[in-house]
Structure 1
Amino acid sequence: MQVGCAIQGAEIYNNDIRNYGVDDKAVQNNGIQIGEGTGGLCYNNRIINGTGTGIIVLGYGDNILFNNVIVGAGKNGIYCDKRFTPGTGFKFINNTIINPRLDGINVNAQGLQNKVFNNLIVNPGNYDKYEADNTFKNGDYAFVNFGSSTESSNNYFEKDINKVGFIDPKSNFDLLS
């Protein structure tokens, strides 16, 4: 699903997207793509198993993503990149991201007031890669990788899905308590 040039007030919500990007065409294989020039809300979406990023945000910079469940993204759970006319910043709140092949949330939006709060991220694929690369990045960068001015707090990161307390770690990602 792609939305672009909705300058303000866009709302993307209550979608159930499964097995996206079956042709695996670069930049056309994402679950939800919020394109350049778009500002607004993206919430209550379930994005399950695909070849690309669960949600990619290239929008205006006034985007708020919250209460989304992303499982089995073929790239990042969420990827954010500021583009031509950035707003004040991107906000990622209360999202659940499980088993992305790369990073849980990757924010590439320097100079904005980005916020990453209360997200649950489980088993990002880049964790072991960053641990082994012997660079400035350690495994924690795989949960939230922000090479930009991003405020991050109250996020829960876990490698082992069985330690999280999901009702069913294979199919029901609601928490037991």
Structure 2
Amino acid sequence: MDGHTRDELLAEAIRLRRQGNSEEARRRLLDMVAEHPGDAEVAYQTAWVHDVVGLEAQAVPFYESSLSGPGLSEEDRRGALLGLGSTYRVLGRYTQAVDTLRQSVAEFPDDGALQTFLAMALFNTGQHHEAMRILLKLLATTSEDPHVLLYRRAIETYAQDLNDTV
């Protein structure tokens, strides 16, 4: 591919996506997938660009491929798990979204974005109590709002059981 290394080509495709030239990035990444079919990083970036251009259904197999074996950095693995879970949710595949995002939160319990997307998927499956518990706990533990901080203990208590009036 033009005498450039795989890393150079991948960096250029990522740069194109970041600059808003997603269709060109997508075209280049699809070429790279054809040349590097087992490359988890290329698959992840290909999934991501498909999401960016609104081709969520086409993103799914690339996310799944990127996560099927080794090859992703921890940061990219987080991103791929979030991307896959979120994409399942957008496609109405709520059970798969919850399953993927639960696995993600178990693997990365400190990741507030994963927790937030899990809460959204739980909402979509009618698991409102658990969704609200996750969001309240996240709010209580991450907010810097002085008014939230003032009531942090109460919010954390209610996060355990919203039906509790004490």
The structure whose residues are more often helix, as a share, is 2
The structure whose residues are more often strand, as a share, is 1
Q: Which structure has the bigger radius of gyration?
A: 2
TM over 0.5: no
- TM-score of the two chains, using structure 1 as the length reference: 0.32
Which of the pair has the greater relative contact order for Cα pairs under 8 Å at 6+ separation?
1
